[in-house]
């Protein structure tokens, strides 16, 4: 193998070991500007050729002659001066497009066959995209500046802290102050004193939070008067999200603001007229509704009075006829008896008459009590009363009248005394005992129990009679209401209403629990005096 070829091979291997890993395109030329070495990036720059296609050839084989001559002249100059140069040049690429590149050329010496050979190392940095972007940016800046200068609104720029750093030239025309006077916070001197506090509050809030600014205020103009302006601004943020600038526009809205003020005044007057009209309509409507309500009430009252009168007459006719018939029947039997009347027979008829009279008295008392409740004239006179003694007395009276039933009393746990109206509560228990007998004709046992619980005196009356449907229980204490299971059994429908009213007038309540065919339990809760409750608990 010739010595020169061996030397060239060694030189290329040496250059490859040094320059192959370079990221940018690198060419090595001899003194005739022929390529001695190209790295991979240089091959790609030349259109993807292989090193073998370029080695031994010059730029005249790849570029237009004028460009190749200029490059050759530059190579000769650098070989002659041994100076290192960095310069920008335009080169035609493989596709025919012009590329901008920064070229770095320097001379290096390498041993070759016992002597030293000079080579030119060329490093290329393609900056075509960068220069294109710079050109576009310059054009954009020129376009933006022209647009700003011609825009009818006044642009302004502030830093991240809200200090004005740039204002459009229009500021001088509208305010009569220089652009420099508006820098920092100098613009505040042109704001109307009545608007300055609001403007500063909103601006500081936007600077603090990054929210868009949109505020209207009055500015002192060059002519000496105030005119309305609208200022809007938005923040520019960095890649990390931090605010670096505020960009805003100041727009005159004086005529619109005056029109809005006139519109608001007109709307206010319309609202005032509307409110007055609505109030007048409300007053008249209320008067009409009040009169209608009063008429409805009177009409309903008249209807209820008529219904009550009819019901009362029917009830009196039925309820009084039964005891009178009993009295009449007993009297006639006594009159027709011709033989000697035995004491047992006399007692039987006497008890029948007494029971009928008691029923009539009970009816009269219920009717009178219902009338007093309806008119609100019922009076409660409380005295210290033994509840157990009162219950025992009422049970004895009912036992005498209704000999077929037996009252089982468990009253030992009741408090000794309670503050209540004994007359009123005699009516309560008389009614409950009467119902226990009347609605349980085939269940002779009535259980009455009294006890104390949670500061309350409680009494329950339980029978094993016909019971009531669950649907009837919520209405059971309404006046004149009778359960469906009571059909065919004498009654006025006012007794339980009286019971409920009397218990509630004493601060208590009454609860009913009933199962059809299994009997009924009425339970009364009465509040105990606090001192009495402590004594009983002790």
Q: Are strands 85-92 and 213-220 parallel, antiparallel or unpaired?
A: unpaired
Asked if residue 79 is part of any domain, the answer here is: yes
Q: Clarify whether residues 414 and 440 are in a common domain.
A: yes
* Same domain? 464 vs 396: yes
Task: Give residue-wise pLDDT tens across range 108-134.
Answer: 887 766 678 888 999 999 888 888 888
Sequence-distant (≥ 6) Cβ neighbours of residue 293 within 8 angstroms: none
Please tell me the predicted confidence (pLDDT) of residue 186: 92
Q: Do 338 and 301 lie in a common domain?
A: yes
Position 259 in a domain: no
Block residue for tokens 């209207």: 216
pLDDT tens across 42-89, in order? 888 888 888 888 898 998 998 999 999 999 999 999 999 999 999 998
Q: Which domain holds residue 49?
A: 3-132
- Whether residues 93 and 206 share a domain: the answer is no
DSSP secondary structure string for all residues of 40-108:
HHHHHHTTS--HHHHTT-BGGGTS-HHHHHHHHHHHHHHHHH---EEEEEEEE-TTS-EEEEEEEEEEE
pLDDT tens per residue, range 506-515 = 889 999 998 8
CATH number of the domain that 402 lies in? 3.30.565.10
Shared domain for 323 and 438, answered yes or no, is no
User: Would the pTM count as exceeding 0.75?
Assistant: no
Is 257 inside any structural domain?
Answer: no
Verify that 351 and 456 share a domain, yes or no. Answer: no
Note whether residue 434 is domain-resident: yes
CB 433 within 8 A of CB 460: no
CATH, residue 9 = 3.30.450.20
Give pLDDT, residue 3.
Answer: 44
pLDDT of 382-416, one tens digit each? 889 888 888 898 888 888 877 788 899 988 888 88
Quote the number of domains for the chain. Answer: 4
Residue 272 lies in a domain: no
* pLDDT for 296 beyond 80: yes
**What is the per-residue pLDDT for 215?**
94
Claim to verify: residue 159 and residue 206 sit in the same structural domain: yes
């Amino acid at each position: 193998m010739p010595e020169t070829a061996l030397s060239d091979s060694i030189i290329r291997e040496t250059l490859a070991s040094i320059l192959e890993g370079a990221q940018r395109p690198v060419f090595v030329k001899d003194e005739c500007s022929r390529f001695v070495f190209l790295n991979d990036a240089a091959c790609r720059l030349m259109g993807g050729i292989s090193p073998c296609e370029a080695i031994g050839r010059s730029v005249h084989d790849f570029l237009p002659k004028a460009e190749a001559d200029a490059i050759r002249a530059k190579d000769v100059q650098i070989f002659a001066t041994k100076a290192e140069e960095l310069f920008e040049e335009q080169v035609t690429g493989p596709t025919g497009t012009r590329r901008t590149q920064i070229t770095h050329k320097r001379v290096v010496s390498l041993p070759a066959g016992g002597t030293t050979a000079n080579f030119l190392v060329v490093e290329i940095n393609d900056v075509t995209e960068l220069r294109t972007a710079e050109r576009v940016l310059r054009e954009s800046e020129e376009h933006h500046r022209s647009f700003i200068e011609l825009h009818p609104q006044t642009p302004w720029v502030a830093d991240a802290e809200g200090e004005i750093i740039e204002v459009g030239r229009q500021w001088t025309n509208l305010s009569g102050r220089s652009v420099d006077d508006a820098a920092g916070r100098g613009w505040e001197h042109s704001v109307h004193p009545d608007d300055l506090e609001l403007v500063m509050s909103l601006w500081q809030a936007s600077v603090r939070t990054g929210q868009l600014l949109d505020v209207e205020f009055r500015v002192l103009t060059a002519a000496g008067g105030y005119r309305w302006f609208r200022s809007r601004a938005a923040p520019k943020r960095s890649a990390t999200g931090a605010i670096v600038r505020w960009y805003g526009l100041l727009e005159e809205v004086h005529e619109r603001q005056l029109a809005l003020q006139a519109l608001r005044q007109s709307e206010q007057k319309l609202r005032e007229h509307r409110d007055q009209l609505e109030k007048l309509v409300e007053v008249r409507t209320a008067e009409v509704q009040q009169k209608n309500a009063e008429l409805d009430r009177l009409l309903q009252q008249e209807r209820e009075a008529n219904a009550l009168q009819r019901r009362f007459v029917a009830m009196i006719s039925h309820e009084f006829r039964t005891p009178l018939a009993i009295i009449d029947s007993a009297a006639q039997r006594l009159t027709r008896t011709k033989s000697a009347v035995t004491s047992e027979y006399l007692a039987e008829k006497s008890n029948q008459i007494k029971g009928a009279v008691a029923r009539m008295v009970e009816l009269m008392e219920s009717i009178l009590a219902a009338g007093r409740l309806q008119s609100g004239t019922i009076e409660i006179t409380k005295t210290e009363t033994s509840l157990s003694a009162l219950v025992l007395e009422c049970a004895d009276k009912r036992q005498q009248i209704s000999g077929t039933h037996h009252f089982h009393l468990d009253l030992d746990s009741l408090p000794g005394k309670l503050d209540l109206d004994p007359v009123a509560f005699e009516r309560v228990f008389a009614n409950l005992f009467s119902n226990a007998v009347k609605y349980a004709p085939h269940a002779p046992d009535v259980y009455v129990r009294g006890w104390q619980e949670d500061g309350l005196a409680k009494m329950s009356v339980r029978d094993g009679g016909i019971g009531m449907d669950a649907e009837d229980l919520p209405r059971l204490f309404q006046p004149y209401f009778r359960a469906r299971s009571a059909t065919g059994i004498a009654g006025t429908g006012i007794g339980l209403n009286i019971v409920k009213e009397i218990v509630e007038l004493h601060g208590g309540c009454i609860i009913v629990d009933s199962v059809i065919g299994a009997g009924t339990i009425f339970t009364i809760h009465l509040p105990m005096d606090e001192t009495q409750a402590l004594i009983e608990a002790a």
